[in-house]
Amino acid sequence: MTEYLVMTREDEQAHASQSPKAMSELIEKSATYADELRRAGRLKDSGRLRPSKEGKRVRREGDRLTVRDGPFAEEGKALGSYCWVQAGSFDEATELVANAPVLPTDAIDVRPVMKGMCPRDKEAKPGKIFACAVLGCTKTEDAWVEVMDRIDEETHGRFPEASFLGGLRLEPPRSGRRIVTRGERRATFDGPFLESKEVIGGLFFVRMTSVEDAVRWAAETRFVVHGALEIRELWRT
């Protein structure tokens, strides 16, 4: 079994303008979908992010730390949810997510996991849970891998033990796949998606009292030296 991270990239406006009934149905379908994956023994972890306008992006430019407020969107789409699954092959993983409940405007990225430490009971502990997406922004894959390696070395021990909940490092973008809806059908594209300026290289989870606290801790890590961090609160599900 190999592990894959499935991420939805969403047109937030389309989600925000859903009718309450459609909103409720999508939420219920997502819950059922995650339950089914869990029952089948395929789900390691999943989560849904609160709107990107509540999020922060932290990066260092020279000596200056910059913190940008959301909303964030690449080509009009923001990270919306993630599912950490196990599958026998890439095709099987793609098949698993083919029926994921999404809006037609959403894209689904499937990316192989290089290594990871799965958060256990992350929903059960007090505090707000934040997903921190490590963003790489280099033109070539080699440089990207190097950047991620360097960031990876710095992952551990940077956060207070009680606050760090685990996370994962993804394989380079060329190994990923993107699924989009075209009319009635879903079409699949292979990576590396170099048209995207910033590609997600990993995801980790922290528990904090506020987004400001999360930004303060993030600023002390090396993530923001070599790349950027997008910090987004998770809904508790």
Binding site for another protein (CB under 8 A): 16-21, 23-24, 27-28, 31, 48, 51, 123-128, 160, 162-163, 207-210, 212, 216, 235-237
Q: How far is the CB of 216 from another protein (least distance, A)?
A: 6
Taking the C-alpha atoms of residue 114 and residue 203, their distance in angstroms, rounded to an integer, is 12
Q: Indicate the SS3 state at residue 7.
A: strand
* Residues 162 and 207 sit within 8 Å (Cβ to Cβ): yes
Q: How far is the CB of 48 from another protein (least distance, A)?
A: 8
Beta bridge partners of 45: 84
Q: How far is the CB of 128 from another protein (least distance, A)?
A: 6
Containing H/E element for 186?
Answer: strand 185-190
The single-letter code of the amino acid at 208 is M
Comparison of 129 and 228: residue with beta carbon closer to another protein: 129
Comparison of 50 and 150: residue with beta carbon closer to another protein: 50
Comparison of 20 and 183: residue with beta carbon closer to another protein: 20
Comparison of 21 and 139: residue with beta carbon closer to another protein: 21
Exposure string over 140-165, b if 16+ CB within 10 A, otherwise e: ebeebbebbeebbeebeeebeeebbb
Q: How far is the CB of 92 from another protein (least distance, A)?
A: 27
Comparison of 66 and 89: residue with beta carbon closer to another protein: 66
Q: How far is the CB of 209 from another protein (least distance, A)?
A: 6
Nearest alpha-carbon partner for 197 in 167, 227, 166: 227
